Amino acid sequence: MSTLIEPRVLKGFRDYLPSTELARAALIDKLEATFRSFGFVPIDTPALEYAEILLGKGGGETDKQVYRFKDNGDRDVALRFDLTVPFARFMAEHYNELYLPFRRYHIAKVWRGENTQRGRYREFMQCDFDIVGTDSASADADIVLTIASAMQTLGVGAVRIRVNHRGLMNRFLAAQGISEKLVPVLRIIDKQEKIGPDETQALLTQEVGRPLAERIIDFVTPEKDSSKTLTKMLELCGKDDADAQAAANRLSEVFSIVNACGLGALVYLDPAITRGLDYYTGIVFETTLVAMPEIGSVCSGGRYNELASLYTTKELPGVGAAIGLDRLLAALEALGKMEQAQPLPLVLITNDGSVALSLLHKEAHRLRQEGISCEVFPEAKKLPQQYSYAEKKNIPFALLFQNMQGYQEIEPYLSKFPLRDLKERQTQEFDSFEKLVLFLRNFSASLGTTASSTEL
């Protein structure tokens, strides 16, 4: 006998067993329904692309993490490490075949050879949605509204969507005469929640001196409400700064839209949100769960001026966000808000060997035609063994067709439908197929939405 190969996955990779995969699929179904309700349409791009396309000018932190290799045709290729770069390439290649503004979502896997010590995975799913081809308050607001709607649909409880405008911070720093310090200052502001106010002040002082550090901290500290915060930010930028005024107007417009939809309570202006070194140029946002702020943002994004400038001279301003699926899944589980999924299947048709397989399958077929999922236990085994199987698979009911030798040939061959509730360990007899179906439908409806919910 030949030696066995040890069955294992690569470090940082994982299998999805059915319970996890079902939860993920249910989450994605709900997100897709939300995206579609806002007119976002799905696209897909290849997992593998020319390294030149994915890495662009290159030299960034990302490069080291990319799975890059020579294919059999000696092409320099790489696995995508995000969905933004492929989307940029996609838009440059296809904008003539599409229409603008283009709203797309894309839910797909990406790969990064990250350090796995921090609990990071090297293969994970990203979920992006963007509106490209318009620089408008309406599109900015639509992304915020989509986030709010998605979070409501998922049932994660209260959320806080914190928004800001990169233009304000830029103009503020310019007014202080320290535009060249933008990157290090943003970097410090970005981590202020983690490091605390003292450390933030110390680092900023080191970077720009004490008086300026204090002014920056004043600038990034929110007031009682978003409107007051905005007024203060604008004042600190200098009242006659047209760019700052334009940024403030954009934010006001977004807030008025969000308020009109009755979602004002979820959204507020936080001048400390900068999205670090990202390429954002306008509005930026982060989303935290009120019940679990410690897990960080579950949905972040912002506006960028030039999506596809590496590949085309066509101007493609856009705004979008990405949802952290793994984080959200973990949060839903921790909060006990993982909606009870529909059991798969609803019914196990037991098989004690006394009833012809063809009859068991015929009953299964009838049930499926009524929309009831079910399976026939394929071998004649002792019932406790079949119950144990059902329990492990979370099948709630068993149909017990036993000792029915007399009914094997002729229709109506069954006049009783003994249904066992496997949790309660009780059996109920239904005297017609219709009553059985009705009972099972009601049970199913009592569990809430099915995995794939219907949305127009």
Q: What is the DSSP letter of 156?
A: -
113 binding its own copies? (CB under 8 A) = yes
Peptide linkage before 412 cis (omega within 30 of 0): yes
450 binding its own copies? (CB under 8 A) = yes
Q: Which residues 80-99 are close enough to bind its own copies by CB under 8 A?
A: 89-90, 92-94, 97-99
Q: Which is nearer to its own copies, 137 or 173 (CB)?
A: 137
Q: Which is nearer to its own copies, 32 or 241 (CB)?
A: 32
Q: What are phi and psi of 171, to 5 degrees?
A: -70, -35
153, 188, 249 from 172: Cα distances, Å: 38, 16, 16
358 binding its own copies? (CB under 8 A) = yes
Q: Which is nearer to its own copies, 81 or 172 (CB)?
A: 81
Q: How far is the CB of 448 from its own copies (least distance, A)?
A: 12
Stretch that binds its own copies, among 164-172, 237-245, 266-274, 351-359 (CB under 8 A): 351-359
Peptide linkage before 418 cis (omega within 30 of 0): no
Q: How far is the CB of 433 from its own copies (least distance, A)?
A: 15
Q: What is the DSSP letter of 341?
A: P
Q: Which residue, 408, 412, 410, is CA-closest to 359?
A: 408
Q: Which residues 280-319 are close enough to bind its own copies by CB under 8 A?
A: 308, 310-313
142 binding its own copies? (CB under 8 A) = yes
Q: Which residues 177-236 are close enough to bind its own copies by CB under 8 A?
A: none
Work out the widest C-alpha separation in the chain, in whole angstroms. 95
Q: Which is nearer to its own copies, 98 or 404 (CB)?
A: 98
Q: Which residues 321-350 are close enough to bind its own copies by CB under 8 A?
A: 342, 344-346, 348
Residue pair 419/374 in contact by the 8 Å Cβ criterion = no
Q: What sign has the CA pseudo-torsion 144, 147, 153, 156?
A: negative
- Say how far residue 8 (Cα) sits from the centre of its chain: 27
407 binding its own copies? (CB under 8 A) = no
Q: How far is the CB of 182 from its own copies (least distance, A)?
A: 22
103 binding its own copies? (CB under 8 A) = yes
146 exposed, middle or buried (CB, 10 Å; 0-12, 13-18, 19+)?
buried
Stretch that binds its own copies, among 5-13, 181-189, 327-335, 427-435 (CB under 8 A): 5-13
At position 213, the amino acid (one-letter code) is: A
Residues 6+ apart with CB under 8 A from 249: none
Q: Which residue, 355, 348, 349, is CA-closest to 402?
A: 355
Q: Which is nearer to its own copies, 47 or 383 (CB)?
A: 47
252 binding its own copies? (CB under 8 A) = no
Q: Which residues 8-37 are close enough to bind its own copies by CB under 8 A?
A: 8-11, 13-18, 21-22, 24-25, 29, 32-33, 36-37
Stretch that binds its own copies, among 138-146, 232-240, 273-281, 287-295 (CB under 8 A): 138-146
> 3-state class of 161 per DSSP?
strand
Rg of the chain over all Cα atoms, to the nearest angstrom:
28
Residue with tokens 């989307």: 87
Q: How far is the CB of 207 from its own copies (least distance, A)?
A: 30
Q: Which is nearer to its own copies, 75 or 210 (CB)?
A: 75
369 exposed, middle or buried (CB, 10 Å; 0-12, 13-18, 19+)?
exposed
Contacts with its own copies, 376-405, as mask; x by CB under 8 A: xxxx---------x--xx-x----------
> Which of 84, 126, 134, 229 contacts its own copies by CB under 8 A?
134
Q: How far is the CB of 430 from its own copies (least distance, A)?
A: 17
Q: What sign has the CA pseudo-torsion 194, 196, 198, 200?
A: positive
